[in-house]
Amino acid sequence: MHNNTLYIFQTLRKKNVIKSYKLTGNPQKVKSRNYFNLDIYDSQDNLEKSIDKVNVGGSFFEHMFFFQSTEGKKFIGKGIQMWGFFVMVQPYSTIKEKISKLINMDISNSIPENLIAKEQTFIEPLFEYQKCGLEIIKERTKTITVYQYDSLGNIKNKIPRVEKDNSLYLSSTSKDLGSVTSFPYFSKTDTTKRDGKYIFVKSGLENINHYLKDIRLTLDSTEQHVVRIDGKLIIHGYTKDGHYTYDEIYVADFEKIGDCYLPKTIKYYPLEDTDLLRPRITTEIDYELK
């Protein structure tokens, strides 16, 4: 769906199309929950503008063939298990309501500027591992394991899952937690402070600041490449009372992959685990090179 149009809405005058509003997946929005843009076309089918922040996403939608049968319609607006995951079948009425509001804004010329898609500019990488990774990485396989412990601190259960990723830059500059933390992508415009073998980074990037703070990179004493990143991981939660956050310990250890030193093992620890003995989640990364 990232490369296709889901719905087309139109405004008409005397049966003549004035504008078309195409709800289209944006392939640049890798690992994004709401990955659709609303592209607005004039009567000659010329693109006028694109609304970037559209609260529409999902994998299955009401008008798909599977859900047109009597049995299939029972699942609209509900969760179903598909390919081992629970997903919601998105109802058309909810999408129509959201898009209708945006169409009315367009008609009244009142679309807020912050909703309009801006031309994306390439973020110049700050560190050598970023440049090297962009050059050599074809695909990553991430094995993510969630650990559960008993009252004595022994592992009670391990829950693994595997994810594939073949868009390093787009993933790492998205707002996906696993992508940002498995390959922290800093900007050349970020502020750094060197202290011996450590580099402290204060980033100006929204995606980094959404998940990481107190960032410290450790350099190898001889070759001066990055061998580790430490910081605080910002966990975001939502309840009926609103948004809240809490912190965990974040550690990314690097290994030599081809000619690069790249993140290999990512671990999240509870703040009280200062000795780093019981990670809550680990991510092991395998790389396929170009």
SS3 label, residue 190: coil
Predicted confidence (pLDDT) at residue 173 exceeds the cutoff of 70: yes
Tens digit of pLDDT for each residue in 184-212?
999 999 999 999 999 999 999 999 999 99
Of all residues in the chain, the percent with pLDDT exceeding 90 is 71
Query: Between these two residues, 223 and 98, which has the higher pLDDT value?
Result: 98
Sequence-distant (≥ 6) Cβ neighbours of residue 2 within 8 angstroms: 25, 26, 27, 29, 30, 35
- pLDDT, average across residues 280-288: 97
pLDDT band of 120, cuts 50, 70, 90: confident
End-to-end CA, the chain: 26
| The pLDDT of residue 80 | 78
pLDDT band of 83, cuts 50, 70, 90: low
Tens digit of pLDDT for each residue in 137-157?
999 999 999 999 999 999 999
Task: Name which of 51-55, 103-107, 226-230, 246-250 the model is least confident about.
Answer: 51-55
Which residues make beta-bridge pairs with 226?
219
What token pair was written down for 234?
């910002």
Q: Dihedral sign for Cα 67, 72, 73, 77, please.
A: negative
pLDDT band of 84, cuts 50, 70, 90: low
Instruction: Give percent helix, percent strand, percent coil of the chain, each to the nearest 5.
Output: 20, 45, 35
- What are residue 275's phi and psi, to 5 degrees? -85, 0
Query: Between these two residues, 12 and 53, which has the higher pLDDT value?
Result: 12
Which residues make beta-bridge pairs with 190?
none
| The pLDDT of residue 85 | 60
Predicted confidence (pLDDT) at residue 82 exceeds the cutoff of 70: no
Closest CA to 172 of 262, 257, 255: 262
User: Is the entire prediction scored with pTM above 0.85?
Assistant: no
Q: 190 with 204: CB under 8 angstroms?
A: yes
